[in-house]
């Protein structure tokens, strides 16, 4: 306890102010002038006249029996009767003055009264002790101090462990009181709050103290979870709702997503408590009257009911403004946002704006993949006329575009196209023969489906329109006649050398390094809990797969320098000179080996979608080919042989 008193002595000293020189004892002024003590030491000594109390850093509480500043020393009487004389400089450094009301001073002056107070009103006594020691007592230190105040013989029943039993009982009373926060960690201090614990007041405290959006959001969710705790406390609920409104208004521009979240929570609270919105409060409809940019992405993190609530507030704008907000959200939203926005449009009878938006965006090949996945997956009864091969063609083009951008946005649309067994049949039944053949050609040349998926799609198409079998058979015959062996790739010598270097680096550098990593991790012991060993083994699996793939590629390829290509038609080793039909811009595309591809140099692999769209066509023909913006029409103005091997 003596060590603890030292820390509390320092804390107590911080509360004392410095005395002005004109009010200081004359002997102390003389000692300062002679350099015997400092001004700070003199200030401490001035507060230690005869009869004053102080805490010594090591020896505990003392009373000043005599202060003789002329002789430069203090005579101290410690708890237990021991006396000690101290020089002024040493006393000023070792002592911290305390008031007569401090528990240690009262304990020294009248220990019986202190013990009686501790026994009769233990909770209030503990409150005072914590306060006197500036709230810097751990639970263990508090128990140690109280055991000194109340030894076992202080209790009426007495006996061994009397204090221990009393202290266990008092701790339970402290927990039940509500003002005391007993820490779970040994190094933390016992805290005392100004009021007893109250769940709904704790929520208010959390709001008042929160400044950052994350803290405010957590407080808002705590309000929802603890809403029943505000029963019988309407004033406090109004207070926290006012804080929530203010936070939402403050973040309208800086963090609109946070404002939307808070307003949704506020409205949910009002709905559950059946109370009206206060006059002048910010509403979601007001907020959305000038919608923030990329509203769909701001709504995406919210749960579906709150997304719907926010969108309903947008619909409340009325007329074209409400429809425009929903359609803008549809063009950017994820699956949750699209589901709620389309459901709301249909429920409100706003079908025509949705149909117009879908028709226009499908024709322009820029429909949101999530919206197109909804249309093709749900196929609402009042939109069956939109389920056409033109829509499916647009869907494949959009998936191709997203794949070029290495985006995951079209994953759901890809799954609908590949997995829905009835979709293609329904679309083909409503199409004419030429449109059906164009769609089958689209499936055959698109790179976005695995071979097994592509065959399944073609089988569904032929089942719906048996006459398409002839087109498929003709395509296979031409492929067998014109293409090299199915598993053999034609590659440039330059790309083949690069692929060989990759293989050599893998075999001679990366795999041996991984083997060393495994050995080092193995030597660290206990492989079940060895994260380094698990990671190295996982890497070994990845490297072995890469090795097998490279070996298969190198075994099934043939190199070429593209000598003497046939330029009567677009083919391998040819440069196709193109003119964009919409812009009139001229460009060229070099169609080279399977491993060649450099958009900056206008080089594409003969396996790429852009190349497969051109291969087999002659100069003067107009061809539809994919691009990042969707499909476009180009005219083949001429075909020449590729000669510039230096750019490979």
Let me know if residue 174 belongs to a domain.
Answer: yes
pLDDT on residue 430: 76
Q: What is the CATH number of the domain that holds 633?
A: 3.10.50.30
Pairing of strands 60-68, 73-78: antiparallel
Per-residue pLDDT band for 17 (boundaries 50, 70, 90) equals very low
Which SS3 state, helix, strand or coil, does residue 48 take?
coil
**Element housing 629 (H / E):** none
* Domain boundary residue, one of 134, 163, 192: 192
Let me know if residue 356 belongs to a domain.
Answer: no
**Element housing 22 (H / E):** none
623 near 634, Cβ under 8 Å? yes
Number of domains in the chain: 5
Pick the more confident residue, 488 or 149.
149
Measured CA to CA in angstroms, residue 9 lies from 5, 284, 474 at distances of: 6, 56, 98
pLDDT on residue 264: 92
- Two tokens, residue 109: 């002056």
Q: Cα(281)–Cα(264) distance, rounded to whole angstroms?
A: 13
Let me know if residue 477 belongs to a domain.
Answer: yes
Kindly state whether residues 86 and 133 are assigned to the same domain: no
pLDDT per residue over 210-269, tens digit each? 778 888 888 888 888 878 877 777 787 888 888 888 888 888 888 999 999 989 998 998
Let me know if residue 580 belongs to a domain.
Answer: yes
- Two tokens, residue 27: 């002997």
Helix axes 2-13, 139-149, angle to 10 degrees: 110
> Domain range spanning residue 177?
110-192
Query: Mean pLDDT across the stretch 409-428?
Result: 91
- Two tokens, residue 596: 């060649």
**Could you give the strand order of the β-sheet that contains 622-627, starting from the edge strand earlier in sequence?**
603-605, 586-592, 574-580, 630-641, 622-627
Kindly state whether residues 379 and 433 are assigned to the same domain: yes
- Two tokens, residue 137: 């007592």
Measured CA to CA in angstroms, residue 254 lies from 73, 111, 260, 301, 543 at distances of: 64, 61, 12, 17, 47
Pick the more confident residue, 275 or 53.
53
Per-residue pLDDT band for 15 (boundaries 50, 70, 90) equals very low
* Domain boundary residue, one of 78, 105, 132: 105
Let me know if residue 84 belongs to a domain.
Answer: yes
Q: What is the CATH number of the domain that holds 543?
A: 1.10.287.180
pLDDT per residue over 333-387, tens digit each? 999 999 999 999 888 888 899 999 999 999 888 899 999 999 999 999 889 899 9
Kindly state whether residues 470 and 515 are assigned to the same domain: no
Q: How are the residues of the chain apportioned to helix, strand and coil, as percentages rounded to the nearest 5?
A: 60, 10, 30
* Domain boundary residue, one of 428, 447, 482: 482
């Amino acid at each position: 306890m003596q060590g603890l008193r030292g820390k509390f002595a320092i804390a107590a000293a911080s509360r004392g102010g410095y005395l002005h020189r004109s009010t200081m004892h004359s002997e102390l002024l003389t000692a300062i002038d002679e350099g015997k003590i400092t001004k700070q030491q003199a200030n401490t000594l001035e507060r230690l006249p005869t009869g004053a109390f102080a805490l010594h850093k090591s020896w505990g509480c003392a009373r000043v029996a005599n202060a003789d500043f002329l002789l430069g020393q203090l005579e101290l009487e410690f708890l237990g009767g021991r006396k000690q004389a101290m020089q002024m400089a040493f006393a000023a450094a070792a002592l911290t003055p305390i008031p007569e009301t401090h528990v240690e001073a009262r304990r020294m002056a009248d220990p019986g009264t202190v013990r009686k107070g501790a026994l009769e009103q233990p909770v209030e006594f503990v409150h005072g002790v914590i306060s006197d020691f500036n709230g810097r007592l751990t639970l263990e230190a508090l128990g140690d101090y109280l055991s000194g105040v109340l030894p076992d013989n202080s209790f009426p029943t007495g006996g061994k462990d009397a204090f221990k039993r009393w202290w266990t009982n008092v701790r339970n009373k402290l927990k039940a009181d509500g003002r005391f926060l007993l820490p779970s960690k040994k190094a933390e201090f016992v805290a005392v709050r100004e009021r007893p614990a109250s769940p709904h007041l704790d929520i208010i405290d959390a709001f008042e103290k929160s400044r950052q959006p994350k803290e405010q959001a957590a407080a808002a969710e705590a309000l929802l979870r603890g809403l029943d705790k505000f029963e019988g406390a309407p004033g406090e609920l109004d207070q926290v709702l006012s804080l929530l409104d203010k936070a939402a208004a403050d973040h309208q521009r800086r963090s609109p997503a946070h404002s939307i979240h808070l307003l949704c929570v506020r409205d949910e609270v009002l709905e559950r408590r059946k109370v009206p919105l206060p006059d002048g409060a910010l509403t979601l409809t007001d907020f959305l009257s000038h919608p923030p940019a990329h509203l769909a992405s701001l709504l995406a993190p919210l749960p579906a009911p709150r997304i719907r609530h926010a969108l309903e507030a947008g619909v409340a704008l009325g007329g074209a403004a409400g429809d425009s907000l929903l359609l803008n959200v549809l063009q950017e939203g994820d699956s949750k946002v699209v589901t709620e926005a389309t459901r709301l449009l249909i429920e409100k009878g706003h079908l025509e704006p949705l149909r117009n938006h879908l028709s226009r965006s499908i024709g322009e090949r820029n429909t949101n993949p999530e919206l197109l996945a909804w249309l093709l997956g749900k196929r609402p009864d009042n939109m069956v006329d939109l389920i056409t091969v033109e829509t499916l063609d647009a869907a494949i083009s959009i998936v191709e575009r997203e794949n070029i951008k290495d985006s995951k946005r079209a994953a759901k649309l890809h799954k609908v196209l590949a997995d829905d067994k009835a979709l293609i049949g329904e679309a083909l039944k409503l199409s004419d023969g030429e449109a059906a053949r164009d769609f089958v050609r689209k499936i055959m040349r698109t790179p976005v489906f695995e071979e097994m998926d592509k065959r399944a799609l073609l089988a569904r198409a032929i089942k719906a329109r048996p006459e398409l079998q002839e087109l498929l058979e003709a395509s296979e015959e031409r492929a067998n006649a014109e293409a090299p062996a199915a598993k053999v790739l034609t590659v440039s010598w330059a790309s083949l050398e690069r692929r060989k270097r990759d293989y050599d680096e893998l075999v001679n550098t990366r795999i041996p390094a991984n083997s060393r990593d495994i050995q080092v991790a193995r030597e660290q012991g206990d492989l079940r809990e060895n994260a380094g060993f698990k990671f190295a083994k996982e890497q070994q699996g990845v490297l072995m797969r890469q090795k097998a793939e490279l070996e298969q590629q190198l075994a099934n390829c043939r190199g070429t320098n593209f000598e003497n290509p046939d330029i009567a038609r677009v083919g391998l080793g040819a440069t196709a000179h193109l003119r964009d039909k919409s812009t009139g811009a001229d460009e060229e595309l070099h169609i080279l080996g399977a491993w060649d591809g450099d958009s900056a140099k206008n080089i594409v692999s003969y396996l790429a979608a852009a190349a497969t769209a051109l291969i087999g066509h002659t100069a003067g023909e107009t061809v539809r080919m994919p691009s990042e913006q969707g499909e476009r029409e180009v005219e083949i103005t001429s075909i020449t042989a590729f000669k510039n091997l230096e750019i490979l």
